[in-house]
Structure 1
Amino acid sequence: MTDASPEENTKQSIISIRKLGKSFVSGSGKGAVRYQVLKDVDLNIQRGEFFILLGPSGCGKSTLLNLIAGFEKQTEGELLVDGQTIDRPGKERAMVFQHPDASLFPWLNVRENIEFGLRMQGVSRGERKAVSDRYIELAGLTGHERKFPRELSGGMKQRVQIARVLANDPELLLMDEPLGALDAFTRRIMQDELVRIWTETKKTVIFVTHDIQEAVLLGGRIGIMSIGPDSRVFEIMDNRLEYPRDITSREFNLMQKKLQSIFQDDLYFHL
């Protein structure tokens, strides 16, 4: 377990965050109140890693992810991708949302949804098909190419969303509790599928969750966020368990208990 500090090695970092803060103003005039969501966040994300942001609901995990995506602007501090300041969304960063219904086009079938971004870029039909063929197979969608979102289960819709994101070849996948709306059985299958897809594509993944078991199952490093307001990444835990991970193994359960003990410690609530 290591502290998240400015002294972390930045040589291979794709994302570098220094003294980042984010606040919101609620109300107006004399009744306006400033709410500090994030404060003094220091973090490096290494190229090609599967990084977990773990913490309870309301601690600012999704806010931090939205800042990295460029959907919002920080109030203080520095946020860089490949050494460049993040001030807007970019094609090198792609978001996978919790609810795929909000991002898939219901009037397009599976293949058309996956090819949508490529079509907007003017990619030829033949090249689009070659790319969509690859990610249809990678995401386990073979045989479902002509189905529309309404004809798919929640897990299959999420596969389509992930395949569509990958088809645009981003460097960084930002995943905001993408499995949170799935039933337990489907979620477990999709967790294994995410590891498989990440292993094959070598993309950098930042994955938000409040589920400790999911964090241990997926993450190479786990950034633990304090309770808001003034939330920060106060510790980073290295997870050296080999993939694929066995949730029944002694090593897995020891790792899970180590994380659980942090959230059960009274000191956690006074950070």
Structure 2
Amino acid sequence: MWSPGSDNDSSSNKDNESSIISIRRLGKSFETGSRRKTVCYQVLKDVDLEIRRGEFFILLGPSGCGKSTLLNLIAGFEKQTEGELLVHGRPIGRPEKERAMVFQHADASLFPWLNVRENIEFGLRMRGMKKKERAEISARYIELAGLKGHERKFPRELSGGMKQRVQIARVLANEPDILLMDEPLGALDAFTRRVMQEELVRIWGETKKTILFVTHDIQEAVLLGVRIGIMSIGPDSRVFEIMENGLDYPRDLTSREFNLIQKKLQGIFQDDLYFHL
């Protein structure tokens, strides 16, 4: 059993408690409609959030509440319309390699004409890294992601879970500080999803990366997260509550403590007050 921040090095503990992402009074709106009549739709409003270095943070909320929009803002794919968004104390201007996105559907992100090793090495090759160095890095992450023996397979020869392993390994090979994960396990069957949840916790424990993970699944949130940010229903969505999850890893879905946290979250979403936030 282990828990986050259990390293004996006090300086590491201090780093883990410091913020790597700072969000203050952030808002995002979109204009919709025709040329004659334009309507402004406010997706996010007054979002305040601090993400600690090295933590596994969950954004939890129903579909359409702006979770993916917030993730895209942090990735640099979109620009906020108001407020402040800082990474390492600097405003986000565009996508950078320090922030890497893992998408829900690996099929859309993997190159079908490249095998597993070539997909993992793609970003390294684009940066001009030498073949020997690329091979050393890809071998490390092939091992870490449980892909050994599958290096020469093409995406069409892999299961959904294996494709997601390739996507995660490729992201990690580029050494980002932050992994942004947009419901990356949502398209998998129940058994594969459970296996991948366990694998993701293992990989996070070994790499100490900061993970911001989007889901609408309460059980998944309790299983994975150090902290869980609960988002209100849109429009004008915000993170209205953050729940600390101090359960040790690996987590037992059948334990009393696990079910107490799960029931507390379920109660929030079933409360009439939630729909009037």
Per the normalisation by structure 1, the TM-score is: 0.96
Residue 66 of structure 1 aligns to a residue in which SS? helix
Partner residue of 2:106 out of 100, 107, 119: 100
- 1:213-252 equivalences in 2 (<5 Å): 213-252=219-258
Q: CA–CA distance in 1 between the matches of 2:182 and 2:74?
A: 12
Amino-acid identity (%)? 83
Partner residue of 2:153 out of 128, 131, 147: 147
| 1:34 corresponds to | 40
| 1:132 corresponds to | 138
Q: State the one-letter code of the partner of 1:199.
A: G
Q: CA–CA distance in 2 between the matches of 1:182 and 1:91?
A: 27
Residue 244 of structure 1 aligns to a residue in which SS? coil
| 1:258 corresponds to | 264
Structure 1 residue 11: deviation in Å?
Answer: 7.1
Structure 1 runs of 4+ off > 2 angstroms? none
Residue 36 of structure 1 aligns to a residue in which SS? strand
- Tell me the matched-pair count: 262
| 2:83 corresponds to | 77
Q: State the one-letter code of the partner of 1:135.
A: Y
Q: CA RMSD in A?
A: 1.0
Q: CA–CA distance in 2 between the matches of 1:90 and 1:12?
A: 21
Q: State the one-letter code of the partner of 1:143.
A: G
| Contact kept in structure 1, 2:19 and 2:52, CA below 8 Å | yes
Which consecutive residues of structure 1, in runs of 5 or more, have no partner in the other structure? 1-9
Q: CA–CA distance in 2 between the matches of 1:78 and 1:94?
A: 20
> Is it true that 1:192 corresponds to 2:167 in the alignment?
no
Per the normalisation by structure 2, the TM-score is: 0.94
Q: CA–CA distance in 2 between the matches of 1:27 and 1:259?
A: 36
Q: CA–CA distance in 1 between the matches of 2:114 and 2:19?
A: 37
Which consecutive residues of structure 2, in runs of 5 or more, have no partner in the other structure? 1-15
Residue 199 of structure 1 aligns to a residue in which SS? helix
| 2:9 corresponds to | none
Q: CA–CA distance in 2 between the matches of 1:33 and 1:109?
A: 46
| 1:203 corresponds to | 209
Residue 247 of structure 1 aligns to a residue in which SS? coil
Residue 41 of structure 1 aligns to a residue in which SS? strand
Q: CA–CA distance in 2 between the matches of 1:11 and 1:222?
A: 16
Residue 231 of structure 1 aligns to a residue in which SS? coil
> Is it true that 1:54 corresponds to 2:57 in the alignment?
no
